[in-house]
Amino acid sequence: MDILKASDADLKKKLEDLHVTYDGTNRERLIDTLWKYCRKNIAGPAFLINHPTLIAPLAKSVAGNTSIVQMFQPIIGGSEIGRGYSELNDPLDQRKRFEEQRKLLEGGDTEAMMPDWEFVDMLEHGMPPTCGFGFGERLFAVMANKPLRETQLFPLMRPK
């Protein structure tokens, strides 16, 4: 399925055909849910690249294709062990993407990104090309051959 060309109805049908439960019905949630389903089924190791722009609002678009971004995720055993991307440094593009995220938030999407208008103001003063990468805690769990819960330095403390 080409998720960039598929309609929302096509995405919902595919998720239902795969028996995947999804929260939210906006395009971003549907694509993100399908993306996560596919990622879990990659035995790995692998690198996922060219994420849809809608699910990566801080990443720079691929030259000549604004529907995907310069982002990568190393995958081992179906788990994302890190994430990296080229930073979007175009203030006009970033403002547009934050507007889309704001609309998603207003529509009830709790996973949408909170717009950072000060960041856009800073971009207007200029930012050189940059790329970042972060390892996730899953990498350490894989290396230690332990469940993720046992490798957390500061486990989640639930209020009583």
How far is residue 18's CA from residue 1's CA, in Å, rounded to a whole number? Answer: 13
Helix (H) or strand (E) holding 83: strand 82-86
Residues in the chain, pLDDT under 70 = 154-160
How far is residue 74's CA from residue 156's CA, in Å, rounded to a whole number? Answer: 25
**pTM given for the model:** 0.71
* β-sheet bridge partners, residue 76: 79
Domain ranges of the chain: 1-41
The predicted structure's pLDDT at residue 131: 87
The predicted structure's pLDDT at residue 155: 60
